[in-house]
Amino acid sequence: MSDISSPTGKVYDVKALIETYILTVSSERRAHLGDYEKDYHRYYSALLAKLEELFGIRLSDWFVSPSNRRACRIYPFFRTTVESLLAITTPLSGWDEAGFLTEIDESGEPGREVHRAMTTIDELCSASRATHYHMLYALFECMYGKIKTVVSSEQLRRAGFDDSKVPVAGPYD
């Protein structure tokens, strides 16, 4: 996330707002899986709500800003760009254990070709993710103009949200 650490906590800029929105959309898909996923989704949804409040910008629904017609017209494209970003995968995405790679490694030249192809796919996916983020930042600026506002952890705490309580997977295992 594009937040910046400071001695008194984090500082969230517009990129962090957008990235929090992306994490919230992503976590919506997994919120049904278990306690950790539910807590993760609750945390990022609450963080997004507070950041939206403090930035004075709404990203979390289709009625982003009724008084900002440009934002209302661009938002559906912004949302589908987020969905496109989240759809980027590789053949190993989702695999917790990939013991079959040993079999591929032992197959000689065809196995090396598989690894070269996977490396290429990984590189292309990374480039696509970076390009999606760049596009989302630009779309946001098309919607709202250049915003230099930053929000600190202290401001979040005063608004009723403690950003230091990020869920960790450990207690749920």
The pLDDT tens digits of the residues spanning 117-147 come to 999 999 999 999 999 999 999 999 999 999 9
**Which one-letter amino acid corresponds to residue 96?**
D
- At 98, is the pLDDT very low, low, confident or very high (cuts 50, 70, 90)? confident
* Confidence (pLDDT) at 171: 59
pLDDT, mean of residues 55-73:
81
Tokens 């098309």, residue located: 142
- CA 158 centroid distance within chain: 25
* Confidence (pLDDT) at 7: 47
The pLDDT tens digits of the residues spanning 16-54 come to 999 999 999 998 887 677 888 888 899 999 999 999 999
Greater confidence, 149 or 62?
Answer: 149
Residues 91 and 145 sit within 8 Å (Cβ to Cβ) = no
The rounded distance, in Å, linking the Cα atoms of 16 and 32 is 25
pLDDT, mean of residues 58-77:
82
Region of residue 56 (left: phi > 0; alpha: psi -120 to 50; beta: else): left
Instruction: State the average pLDDT for the chain.
Output: 89
The rounded distance, in Å, linking the Cα atoms of 34 and 17 is 26
Domain boundaries, the chain: 4-172
* Confidence (pLDDT) at 68: 85
